[in-house]
């Protein structure tokens, strides 16, 4: 059985993490598959937007802890390659020109919470929870912290990673971690509707909008204005007639 399901609905590509018996935990194989699938969607001209969700009751339980037994100091090459792969996965979302909608159907923990927030837009089932329990396992919510602190205020973000307690969907929405909360049975329909709305946007305009959004996110104000000016000048070339 494939660890990642891929389905196209018009211009929307749906990627479904498919290890339901492991709560869709990210082992090495699934992490590689998901990263490759995101790159493939980016390269496919027929794909205009992406929806990411999980099979079964969970969205993603984070890293597959059963693989940690091999990630020891005496196997530095394995530790380094796994960290590099994880960083590549969590970093790719903002570099895609196509928008990604995450449909958080169930618990999203640790690396799973990181995936949930990595999308450009996040929808969350009312029954789902989201959290960063790494400290409770004696480790750090390390790579996923970069997206968290860019989505949530400092005080809330610190409490999430330092206490390790999950939040429910209503709290996640109030903190700005997700765009909105839906009934579980309506989640995929709403996520696909958002994906279809994005897919209908003029492609060069969408790509430039997303590129500029993530560039100005971390720039000083004056420099962000300059980036906006440059895009403002460029966009005349790809305006629809």
Q: Please list the active-site residues.
A: 134
Which whole-number Å values give the CA distances from 173 to 125, 134, 138, 151, 162, in the listed order? Answer: 11, 22, 28, 11, 20
Q: Beta partners for 72?
A: none
Between CA 88 and CA 39 the distance in angstroms is 11
With residue 205 as reference, give the H or E element that holds it. Answer: helix 203-216
């Amino acid at each position: 059985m494939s660890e990642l399901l891929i389905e196209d609905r018009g211009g929307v590509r749906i990627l479904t993490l498919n290890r339901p018996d492991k709560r869709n935990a990210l082992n090495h194989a699934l992490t590689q598959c998901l990263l490759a699938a995101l790159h493939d969607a980016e390269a496919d001209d027929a794909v205009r937007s992406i929806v990411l969700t999980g099979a079964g009751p969970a969205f993603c339980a984070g890293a597959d802890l059963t693989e940690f037994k091999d990630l020891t100091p005496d196997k530095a090459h394995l530790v380094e390659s796994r960290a590099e792969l994880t960083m590549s996965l969590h970093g790719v979302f903002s570099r895609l020109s196509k928008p990604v909608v995450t449909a958080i159907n169930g618990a999203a923990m640790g690396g799973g919470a990181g995936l949930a927030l990595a999308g450009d837009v996040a929808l969350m089932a009312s029954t789902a929870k989201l959290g960063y329990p790494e400290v409770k396992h004696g480790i750090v919510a390390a790579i996923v912290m970069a997206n968290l602190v860019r989505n949530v205020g400092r005080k809330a973000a610190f409490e999430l990673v330092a206490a390790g307690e999950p939040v429910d969907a209503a709290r996640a929405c109030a903190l700005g971690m997700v765009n909105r909360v839906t009934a579980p049975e309506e989640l995929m329909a709403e996520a696909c509707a958002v994906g279809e709305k994005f897919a209908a946007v003029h492609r060069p305009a969408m790509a430039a909008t997303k590129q500029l959004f993530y560039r100005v996110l971390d720039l000083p104000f004056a420099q962000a204005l300059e980036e906006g000016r440059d895009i403002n000048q460029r966009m005349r070339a790809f305006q629809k007639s």
